[in-house]
Amino acid sequence: MCTPKSAGGLNLVNLKGWNKEAILKMCWDIEQKQDRLWIKWIHSYYIKGQSMEEIRVPTQACWMVRKILGTKEILHILHNEAVGKKSMIRQAYKQMLGSFSKVEWRNLICCNSARPKAIFTLWLQAQNRLLTKDRILKWKMQVEPVCVMCNQEEETRDHLFYDCIFARKLWRRLLQWIDQNSSSNTKGKNPQAQALRLIYAEYIYTLWKERNTRIFEKHETTMENIARRIAYVCCARANIAARLFLDNVLFRICCCFCLLF
């Protein structure tokens, strides 16, 4: 979850790693003899003219001083960074994380203006982590394997979102509204690609929510009403560039059906 979005993560900060680099920055400040009172005090009482390579971590010092001086073995990480760089901790943190290979679906997650819960559901779906029935059956749990959206085939990730008759009709309906014949144009920052990423994320979330509603609440919503709901949300969530693209196709539809929501 702490890996970049382009590598399939959520780009959350690893607090343990960030704290380690912040402590390392304090050790670097001590080595560089920054003009600060606490650094002068440490040099007077513990370092006493020695280099950072020669000094031993004093056992009688408080735990904070021991923690800071204990990072001197990895000071070379900051030596590679520019002296006085304000983003030194950030650069050291990125170096600690290392490099990651990019995932194919990164364009769907990055720069997507969909609702956070929709993006999170899309992230789970892209990694096949949603609890579809085929995964639940692998845990030896007794569930009906048939897809509740079409009542024809076994429910899997690919079937539920791509092969199911209900899902295919819903997606075709959304593509018709934005005058698209395919869903492959999701790269780039142009309004058309931004709108398509937004619609796809909301489509995945809404379809998954409808699936759960049918299983646990025994309530069904028609395909047309689901499509209108997605259109309404997309018009509300779209940024300025994407909204200009959606105005002529989705905004008009949402105004016609706004009383349904």
**CA 104/CA 184 separation, integer angstroms:** 12
Degrees to nearest 5, angle at CA 60 with 59 and 66? 55
Domain ranges of the chain: 5-97, 106-260
Give me 134's structure tokens. Answer: 């085929």
Taking residues 54-59, report their average pLDDT.
Answer: 84
* pLDDT band, very low/low/confident/very high, at 168 (cuts 50, 70, 90): very high
- Distance between CA atoms of 27 and 74, rounded to whole angstroms? 10
Quick check: pTM over 0.75? no
Residues 6+ apart with CB under 8 A from 178: 192, 195, 196, 199, 245, 246, 249, 250
Helices 191-216 and 223-237, axial angle in degrees (round to 10): 140
pLDDT of 116-152, one tens digit each? 999 999 999 999 999 999 999 999 899 999 999 999 9
Q: How far apart are CA 58 and CA 65, in angstroms?
A: 8
